[in-house]
Chains A and B, each alone.
Chain A
Amino acid sequence: MFQRRTITNQLTFFQKLRSFDFILMGCIFIIGIISCYSMYSTDGGELLYHSKSHIVRFFVFFVMMIVLSFFNVKFWHSTGYLFYIIVLGFLIWASFYGITASGSQRWINLYFINLQPSELMKIAIIVCFAKYYHRTQVSDVNSFKNLLLPIAILIIPIVLVISQPDLGTSILIALSGLVVLWLAGLNIKYFIYSSLIFIISMPFVIAFLEPYQKLRILTFFNPDKDPLGAGYQIIQSKIAIGSGGLTGKGFLRGTQSYLDFLPEKHTDFIFTLFSEEHGFTGSLLLLILYAIMIFRILRIGALTRSYFAKLYCFSFASAIFIYIAVNMSMVLGLLPIVGSPLPIMSYGGSSMLATMIGFSIVMSAKIYNKQVIS
């Protein structure tokens, strides 16, 4: 009886619940709690605007993730293109009617939330590509016809996001897309060619960059050149992390952050704050949590049956890893400063929403791992 039901994919609620990946969920939850209390620290040990809204968002989106997990993975497959088109629509909307803040037109007003569609695009592009390559034959992947459409799918949102302007997110969207293309089996020579073209075109691209973006890249190579100007963020971030030491300065005792030396401590530099207060030990613990999380996603991808779910899981795991790596390298002074949030930890509703949707698809791939998608 039980067996047959499984085969016919008619799962009871409890069966679904049992096949839930509790370790993955636990990791997400713990990181979420850490993020909430780091946010509490950025507010100087009080429940102020940032911490309050972050806590509310985390719990709302976390519940939403669990609910969405029970959607059959088939649903995501069938709405893959639609998801992409809706987010693309939001992006176009944003470029016309978007809300401008700190010199960038990124947000659209959905009345209950100010949405940053570029964050959702990070997930949408993966879902879209996963659906696209689900059907494509291996032999067709590298055909010219099958190359043109994915490139168009990838380039359009990137151009839109760059024009906002938002270099960081567009790079992350590009990397997410490229990861899927790589996993789908795109010939390695295309990657080599395109990276060659990229390197050659670098000087021209730089010529088109906004002055502040150019400055950031230059600053990365020599942060001490202008320590109070462009190099300030990198220097202060390194000081904060470095001064944390083995065990950190203690909760709410991160002097760099509570005395406001640390810029953007809610968003991009949340890891810096955490690392200052909890030191090497805390940072390593957080990194391990992220590592377990990524490992669990990969495991789900490996166990799942459908190619769509597998491709999605692998791509999503890699994308999440890229977000984390880019963010941490940035705050550790290993990469130039580009706006890139740390998944779950950073303040920001859209980023949280996108990440949680991404996880819910993974969860559903776990629950419906026997699901066959035609």
Chain B
Amino acid sequence: MISGGDTSFRKLNTINRRMFIISAAKVVVFTGIVARLFSLQINENKKYLTLSDKNRLREWKLPPERGEFLDFFGNTIAGNLKVYQLHVVPEQVEDFKYLMIRLKDILEIDDKQFSKIIKKKEKQKPWETLVVSENLSWDQFSKVNFYLHELGGAKPVLSVARSYPHKENFTHVLGYVAQASESDLANSEIIRKNHVPGLRVGKIGLEKAFENDLIGSNGIQRYEVNAYGKRINQIDYLEGKKGKNLRLTIDTEVQKLANELLVGKSGSISVMDIYTGDVIAMHSSPSFDPNLFLYGISHKDWQDIRENPLKPLINKTVAGLYSPGSTIKPLVALSALENDVISPKFIVRCTGKMEMYGQTYHCWKKKGHGFMNLRDAIKQSCDTYFYEAARKLGVDRLNKTGLKFGLGEKVFGKTFIDEKKGLVPSTQWKKDNLGFGWVLGETLITGIGQGYIQTTPLQLCLMTAQLANGGYKIYPRIRVEKNQDTAEQIKAKMIKTAIEKKENENSTISPIRRAQDFLNIGQKEHTVLYRNSENIKFVLEAMWGSTNEVRGTSFGSRIDDKKYQFAGKTGTSQVKKISERHRELELKAKDVPYEERDHALYIAFGPYKNPRYALSIIVEHGGSGSTTAAPMAKKLFKLIIDRHEEREKIIKQNLTIS
């Protein structure tokens, strides 16, 4: 028995009272726990749900598939090749160092490359794929597969990479791709958005210009991963979009011929449709194989390209600046005619040289051409005649005509980042840029395309095209897009503008017409570039003479068949001022050091009866235009005109499809 009822009662009293206090405390704590549960699970549920998803879901971006380049006939000229690559996800590898050393051994990676890979790994997040090798040879691939059971974490995968099947043929048109650099990422949002380690982006040429169309978009694989980063299962797979395939206006056959013609030479060939402005071929020589750049070019290859004296890295078609030489003469003649400075009947006597302002100006023909009218002067490329014509014309009027026909201005604008503007001098230009007043003697040499005047081969081609189409502005294009005007539509527009021009000459411009002009801003108008179409016709006819008549400078390269007959103008531009002594010696081209030889130029259009194509050829230090450049035009026109029908077929097909 519990001794003493009183103590027993007090004991019970104490325990009950204290139990009550504890129970009250328990209720408080219990409520606290429930409240906490409520706040976590109900109030903050969304926040923690997101956190839990962030824990368990991880996205892997897949490299986007790059759009392809097709030529006009739909042949792939820049495609995607399937390649074997070796990927490692560092996070999933037990012993990364060991794996890498084994791989180094198996793949025979050299030390330099190896340290590069290690560096790359340190920059990435541990779950991001590390590309150990971008292009395994079949040998390496089978070796890796053989040892795969020992290489936990290494994954040989099939991937796509750029390939340029025509190698050096399209290098300067397409440019090339290489791994995206810091500056690529900084400058382009779309690259940043789609970037995955090892992504290739365009570095130059059309690959760069059309990056936004070509790049496509990432595929996304969403995996559930466990706490150790191991993929448990795939939750989601969003297929990426392949970049747009871009069709170009270029004809691979013509492009290839251009390449062949210029093999071993430094120069450029451009061919253009005189109505649509379609660039049929555009080649700069020497070229190089863009495939070399895909996986990082080797030091030796890079040295070879960079140190080649013929400068393969320069896209001479748009970035090479040359004195146009005599190829400018048709334009000078046109300008003089348009400004009524001379008439076709204007005669100059060429004695081989001409004294003016205390200087002697020589004609290329030492003995002189004798009495020359304008047609003969163009045909025989008489320098003396053009000295005189230029003197009468003045450089500023020539400047205006030059600008009108597309000289001194980028042909493609922003498409080729390395494109140059060239220069058509004027008195104002000299004052502003050189600070000196214009000297009249400079007008004379500008008249034969020497001196300050500088053009790119593509500008010369455009100029020729705009002469050949009868003097209408055209807009060169290299990419085939939907709803582009066909040659017929453009021709019709040109005729319409010509008629309107005539009407306008007879009456003052009506307010309605002005309003129409206003509305048409932004539309590509094929403005009339001449004052009198007879002048254009005259110049074209003279160019025909130059090629197809005896004593014409390119008579040797003529084609008699009317189907292929073309008209052109040669040019030989001096690189160095010819000294008196040299003139006496009458040195042959091969006796002069390479760097001092003249550039050979040729511009032409054809077929003469019904012109459609224009071209320009430049061979650096190639000697004279008539011996080096003009024969190339002959071969080119044969092919171009043979391919014309096929081209038309394609256009018709596309029309019926759309």
How many residues on chain B are close to A (CB under 8 Å)?
A: 43
18 A-B pairs in the complex with CB atoms less than 8 angstroms apart: A137-B3, A138-B11, A138-B14, A185-B14, A185-B15, A242-B40, A242-B45, A242-B52, A243-B45, A243-B49, A245-B49, A256-B52, A275-B41, A284-B37, A291-B30, A302-B16, A314-B19, A332-B40
Pick the residue among B12, B224, B232 that contacts A307 (CB under 8 A): B12
Q: How far is the CB of B37 from chain A (nearest CB, A)?
A: 5
Q: How far is the CB of B156 from chain A (nearest CB, A)?
A: 28
- Across the interface, which residues of A come within 8 angstroms of B41, CB to CB? 241-242, 244-246, 275, 279-280, 283
CB nearest neighbor in B for A328: B33
Q: Which of B21-29, B388-396, B612-620 contacts A (4 or more CB under 8 A)?
A: B21-29
- Across the interface, which residues of B come within 8 angstroms of A332, CB to CB? 33, 36-37, 40
The answer to the question of B346 belonging to the interface, with a C-beta cut-off of 8 Å to chain A, is no
* Residue from B40, B51, B56 with most neighbouring chain A CB atoms (10 Å): B40
Q: How far is the CB of A307 from chain B (nearest CB, A)?
A: 6
- Across the interface, which residues of B come within 8 angstroms of A138, CB to CB? 7, 10-11, 14
Known: A314-B15, A374-B1. A275 touches B52 (CB 8 A): no
Known: A260-B226, A260-B227, A287-B30. A242 touches B51 (CB 8 A): yes
The answer to the question of B587 belonging to the interface, with a C-beta cut-off of 8 Å to chain A, is no
- Across the interface, which residues of B come within 8 angstroms of A246, CB to CB? 41-42, 45
Q: How far is the CB of B126 from chain A (nearest CB, A)?
A: 12
Within 8 A of B (CB), among A233-269: 236, 238-246, 255-256, 259-261
- Across the interface, which residues of B come within 8 angstroms of A334, CB to CB? 32-33, 36
Q: How far is the CB of A152 from chain B (nearest CB, A)?
A: 23
Known: A259-B227, A291-B30, A310-B15. A245 touches B52 (CB 8 A): no
- Across the interface, which residues of A come within 8 angstroms of B32, CB to CB? 334
Nearest 6 A/B pairs, CB to CB: A242-B48, A243-B52, A185-B14, A260-B227, A259-B226, A280-B41
**How far does the alpha carbon of A138 sit from the alpha carbon of B29 in the complex, in Å?**
30
The answer to the question of A294 belonging to the interface, with a C-beta cut-off of 8 Å to chain B, is yes
The answer to the question of A61 belonging to the interface, with a C-beta cut-off of 8 Å to chain B, is no
**How far does the alpha carbon of A244 sit from the alpha carbon of B40 in the complex, in Å?**
9
The answer to the question of B143 belonging to the interface, with a C-beta cut-off of 8 Å to chain A, is no
Q: Mark A273-316, 1 if CB is under 8 A from B, else 0.
A: 00100011001100100010010001001100001001100100
Pick the residue among B2, B52, B224 that contacts A239 (CB under 8 A): B52
Would you call B10 and A261 a contact (CB within 8 A)?
no
The answer to the question of B225 belonging to the interface, with a C-beta cut-off of 8 Å to chain A, is yes
How many residues on chain A are close to B (CB under 8 Å)?
A: 47
Main secondary structure on B side of the interface with A? helix
Would you call A183 and B49 a contact (CB within 8 A)?
no
- Across the interface, which residues of A come within 8 angstroms of B232, CB to CB? 259
**How far does the alpha carbon of A256 sit from the alpha carbon of B40 in the complex, in Å?**
15
CB nearest neighbor in B for A247: B41
Q: Mark B221-243, 1 if CB is under 8 A from A, else 0.
A: 00011111000100000000000
Would you call B18 and A259 a contact (CB within 8 A)?
no
- Across the interface, which residues of B come within 8 angstroms of A329, CB to CB? 33, 36
Would you call B51 and A298 a contact (CB within 8 A)?
no
Pick the residue among A179, A243, A261, A287 that contacts B33 (CB under 8 A): A287
- Across the interface, which residues of B come within 8 angstroms of A236, CB to CB? 55
Would you call A307 and B48 a contact (CB within 8 A)?
no
The answer to the question of B38 belonging to the interface, with a C-beta cut-off of 8 Å to chain A, is yes
Would you call B37 and A283 a contact (CB within 8 A)?
yes
Would you call B51 and A261 a contact (CB within 8 A)?
no
Q: How far is the CB of B71 from chain A (nearest CB, A)?
A: 52
**How far does the alpha carbon of A184 sit from the alpha carbon of B17 in the complex, in Å?**
11
The answer to the question of A196 belonging to the interface, with a C-beta cut-off of 8 Å to chain B, is no
Known: A138-B14, A139-B7, A245-B49. A261 touches B56 (CB 8 A): yes
- Across the interface, which residues of A come within 8 angstroms of B29, CB to CB? 321, 325
Within 8 A of A (CB), among B36-87: 36-38, 40-42, 44-45, 47-49, 51-52, 55-56
Given contacts A244-B45, A261-B55, A283-B37, 20 further A-B contacts (CB under 8 A): A138-B14, A183-B14, A240-B48, A240-B52, A243-B48, A243-B52, A255-B52, A255-B224, A259-B224, A260-B228, A275-B37, A284-B37, A287-B30, A294-B26, A298-B19, A307-B11, A307-B12, A318-B22, A325-B30, A332-B36
The answer to the question of B118 belonging to the interface, with a C-beta cut-off of 8 Å to chain A, is no
**How far does the alpha carbon of A241 sit from the alpha carbon of B51 in the complex, in Å?**
11
Q: How far is the CB of B227 from chain A (nearest CB, A)?
A: 4
The answer to the question of B655 belonging to the interface, with a C-beta cut-off of 8 Å to chain A, is no
The answer to the question of B34 belonging to the interface, with a C-beta cut-off of 8 Å to chain A, is yes
Would you call B37 and A255 a contact (CB within 8 A)?
no
Q: How far is the CB of B136 from chain A (nearest CB, A)?
A: 34
Q: How far is the CB of A179 from chain B (nearest CB, A)?
A: 7
Known: A185-B14, A279-B41, A311-B15. A243 touches B226 (CB 8 A): no
CB nearest neighbor in B for A276: B52
- Across the interface, which residues of A come within 8 angstroms of B15, CB to CB? 183-185, 307, 310-311, 314
Q: How far is the CB of A62 from chain B (nearest CB, A)?
A: 25
The answer to the question of A48 belonging to the interface, with a C-beta cut-off of 8 Å to chain B, is no
Would you call A280 and B19 a contact (CB within 8 A)?
no
Pick the residue among A241, A298, A302 that contacts B48 (CB under 8 A): A241
Known: A240-B52, A242-B45, A255-B56. A185 touches B38 (CB 8 A): no
CB nearest neighbor in B for A313: B19
The answer to the question of A182 belonging to the interface, with a C-beta cut-off of 8 Å to chain B, is yes
Q: How far is the CB of A172 from chain B (nearest CB, A)?
A: 15
**How far does the alpha carbon of A147 sit from the alpha carbon of B607 in the complex, in Å?**
123
Would you call A284 and B34 a contact (CB within 8 A)?
yes
Q: How far is the CB of B405 from chain A (nearest CB, A)?
A: 69
- Across the interface, which residues of B come within 8 angstroms of A298, CB to CB? 19, 23
Q: Mark A183-224, 1 if CB is under 8 A from B, else 0.
A: 111000000000000000000000000000000000000000
* Residue from A184, A238, A243, A294 with most neighbouring chain B CB atoms (10 Å): A243
- Across the interface, which residues of B come within 8 angstroms of A275, CB to CB? 37, 41
CB nearest neighbor in A for B232: A259
Q: How far is the CB of A78 from chain B (nearest CB, A)?
A: 16
- Across the interface, which residues of A come within 8 angstroms of B225, CB to CB? 259
**How far does the alpha carbon of A165 sit from the alpha carbon of B362 in the complex, in Å?**
107
- Across the interface, which residues of B come within 8 angstroms of A256, CB to CB? 52, 55-56
* Residue from A185, A239, A325 with most neighbouring chain B CB atoms (10 Å): A239
CB nearest neighbor in B for A263: B227
CB nearest neighbor in B for A240: B52
CB nearest neighbor in B for A259: B226
Q: How far is the CB of B535 from chain A (nearest CB, A)?
A: 81
Would you call A245 and B26 a contact (CB within 8 A)?
no
**How far does the alpha carbon of A106 sit from the alpha carbon of B312 in the complex, in Å?**
78
Would you call A280 and B42 a contact (CB within 8 A)?
yes
- Across the interface, which residues of A come within 8 angstroms of B51, CB to CB? 239, 242-243
